[in-house]
Amino acid sequence: MHDDDFRARLRAFLVEHHPGRRPKDRTERLAWQKAWLAKLFDAGYAGPSWPREYGGMDLSFARQVIYQEEYAKARVPGPLGTGLGIAAPTLVKYGTAEQKERYLRPMLRGDAVWAQGYSEPDAGSDLPALRTTARREGDEYIVNGQKVWTSSGDIADVLFTLVRTGTPASRQHGISYLLVDAHAPGVTVRPLRDLTGDAHFCEIFFTDVRVPVADRVGEENGGWPLVRTSLGHERAAGAMNQAARYRRVLDELIELAHERGATADPLVRARLADFEMRVRIMRYTGMRTIADILARGEPGPASSTSRLFVVTFEQDLHEFAVDLLGPYGMLGRDDPHAVQRGRWVWGFLRTRASTIGAGTAEIQRNTIAEQLLGLPRDPAMPPSSR
């Protein structure tokens, strides 16, 4: 099949089966999204980069780009949780045959939602300082501790979690990677309300939670290489999807500027031109990230470049949108006079956290400086960190 035919077929499927408007009710929205992901999987349109043996499409580089562009244009629901882009590649590389068979298909179909349990109150950017412990008793680990800033933690079924199985002084050499049942006795999840009024993050407490040793990925105390794989994919995840999504968002922002008569202002036109160039750069950077993954099996340190570029762009774009709205830029989603149901204001508030997640912007800059440019290590950083 020619690439143009593939694009046309995919577009036709997304239009024909579009699930309609997103429900406001949180429970209904979760069911709506799960039903969409199941339909996508059953039709063979899920997991563009995944191996076919786990239900994916195993697309070529060119078709992954086409897939992400059409998916973003269609405005259909995205994946649930953080498992697809982060845990799945780690499981494919390090998991046992039983773990892959048990977990990957339900994750891709949306039957099981995954969330990441890495950050702790005193171990965010410095992950080797984590203190959640896992003590082995026979065929089980007993897990105690706390995680925080867990996206989708309140709807998760599985938590891919870093735990300390060595001594505190062992730092990254005493960390293991466990898959924890989010509904197991002893797991408590508390949503954290943020600036938008929503609760995107959660804190999670483990009190004597029993986890089978069979749900450890990789060797005991050998979780650090898995962390690097996960973080690399987290920073690269959706690189092309983000570029395609912001292509659409920028077009909508340009339309808004026209509607408000702002495009007569040369300064506004200059800012829009700047965003246009950055969206195009984002697309090419995303293509490079996918090419790296296909060539090396991992995104590598260049994923930090993609991550830093996207998060600074989306903050700048939403700041500009709010400026463009003038006084209306103070009205949130619940205000009847809000422009476009307050979407730009919500985006402005939501993207404040962008330069913190998946490693702060400072961590990304250090990675770029040290691993891509070969500059000396930042003396302020601990011996090993994100």
Give the CATH number, domain containing residue 256.
1.20.140.10
Q: Rounded to an integer, what distance in angstroms lies between the CA atom of residue 87 and that of residue 185? A: 23
Same domain, 67 and 177: no
How far is residue 292's CA from residue 290's CA, in Å, rounded to a whole number?
5
State which of 220, 242, 259 marks the end of a domain.
220
Same-domain check for residues 228 and 214: no
Q: What is the CATH number of the domain that holds 29?
A: 1.10.540.10
Interatomic CA distance for residues 200 and 373, integer angstroms: 35
- pLDDT per residue, tens digit, the chain (386 aa), is 788 899 999 999 999 999 998 898 889 999 999 999 999 999 999 988 888 888 889 888 788 888 888 988 888 998 888 888 788 888 988 999 999 999 999 999 999 999 999 889 877 667 888 999 999 999 999 999 999 989 899 999 999 999 999 987 888 899 999 999 999 999 999 999 888 888 888 999 999 999 999 999 999 999 888 877 776 665 555 666 778 888 889 999 999 999 989 999 999 999 999 999 999 998 888 777 777 777 776 666 667 788 888 889 999 999 999 999 988 888 888 888 888 888 999 999 988 887 777 677 777 788 888 888 888 877 666 555 55
d(CA 61, CA 297): 13
Same domain, 144 and 5: no
Domain-embedded: residue 107 = no
Question: Residues 33, 144: one domain?
Answer: no
Same domain, 301 and 179: no
Q: Residues 362, 240: one domain?
A: yes
Q: Do 245 and 302 belong together in one domain?
A: yes
117 and 55 housed in the same domain = no
Give the HSE-up count for residue 326: Cα atoms under 13 Å, Cβ half-sphere: 6
Single out the catalytic residue among 70, 120, 234, 314: 234
Residue 382 falls within a domain, yes or no? no
pLDDT of residue 240: 67
Does the residue 16 lie in any domain? yes
Q: Is residue 122 part of a domain?
A: yes
Q: What is the pTM of this model?
A: 0.84
- The answer to whether position 104 is within a domain reads no
Residues 367 and 232 in one domain: yes
The answer to whether residue 315 sits within a structural domain is yes
pLDDT value, residue 283: 85
Q: Nearest CA to 238 among 336, 328, 306, 143? A: 306
Give residues with Cβ within 8 angstroms of 101, minimum separation 6: none
12, 18, 120, 163, 341 from 49: Cα distances, Å: 21, 22, 31, 29, 35
Find, among 325, 335, 247, the residue nearest to 283 by Cα: 247
Q: Which of 27, 53, 77 is a domain's end point? A: 77
Query: Considering the domain boundaries, does residue 91 fall inside one?
Result: no
pLDDT of res. 233: 63
Residues 228 and 356 in one domain: yes
CATH of the domain at 156: 2.40.110.10
Token couple for 96: 């046992």
Contact 72, 241 (CB under 8 A): yes
pLDDT at 354: 79
Could you tell me the residue range of the domain that residue 180 belongs to?
112-220
Q: Decide if 98 is catalytic.
A: no
Give the residue among 94, 360, 115, 121 at the shortest CA–CA distance from 227. Answer: 94
Of how many residues is the chain composed?
A: 386
Domain final residue pick, 220, 240, 256:
220
193 is a domain residue: yes
Counting the structural domains of the chain, the total is 3
Tokens 């949780």 sit on residue: 81
Do 263 and 340 lie in one domain? The reply is yes
Which residue type is seen at 352? R
Q: What is the dihedral of CA 201, 206, 209, 213, to 10 degrees?
A: 70
Q: Which pLDDT value is given to residue 170?
A: 85
**Does 277 lie in the same domain as 146?**
no
Rounded distance between C-alpha atoms, residue 345 and residue 254, angstroms = 16
